């Protein structure tokens, strides 16, 4: 990002971007299965901690544009859709700011029981 105090110095990057042209992208990755088998903390990884990140993105006055990317490695599209819908409902119930997501699913070589990569990108509006 452009740093006003570094302007016209050796420390000013030539490719710096203005803060109003930048995007803060928060990424969370959750796997239904791990090398030990079913991920015992899958639900808690998906449901907890994320609300703090959303609140931070929505309320930080220096972050003008933000998005939240949830990447899920799961057994099926039905599981991804179901679990993500529950996550969205919990966020909205808590009053967390989420705009309509862009979603994409891709089959992957079955790894440990995970046969699908499901990605959902949520724009995060300011409070």
- Using one digit for the tens of pLDDT, what is the confidence trace for 57-103? 888 888 889 999 999 999 999 999 999 999 999 888 988 888 999 99
pLDDT at 49: 67
C-alpha 101/C-alpha 121 separation (Å) is 5
Q: What is the secondary structure of 20-49 as a DSSP string?
A: GG--EEEEEEEESEETTEE-TTHHHHHHSS
- Using one digit for the tens of pLDDT, what is the confidence trace for 26-67? 999 999 999 999 999 998 888 876 777 888 888 888 888 999
Q: What is the mean pLDDT of residues 12-26?
A: 83
Residue 118 has pLDDT above 80, yes or no: yes
C-alpha 55/C-alpha 124 separation (Å) is 9
Q: pTM for this structure? A: 0.83
pLDDT at 119: 97
């Amino acid at each position: 990002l452009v740093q006003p105090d570094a302007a016209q110095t050796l420390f000013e990057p030539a490719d710096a971007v203005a803060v109003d042209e930048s995007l803060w992208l928060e990424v969370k990755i959750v796997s239904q299965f791990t090398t030990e088998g079913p991920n015992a903390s899958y639900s808690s990884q998906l449901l907890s901690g994320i609300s703090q990140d959303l609140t931070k993105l929505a309320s930080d006055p220096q972050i003008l544009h933000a998005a939240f990317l949830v990447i899920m490695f799961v057994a099926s599209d039905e599981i991804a859709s179901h679990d993500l819908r529950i996550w969205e409902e919990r966020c909205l119930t808590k009053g967390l700011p989420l705009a309509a997501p862009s979603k994409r699913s891709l089959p992957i070589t079955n790894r440990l029981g995970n046969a699908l990569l499901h990605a959902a990108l949520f724009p995060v509006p300011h409070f």
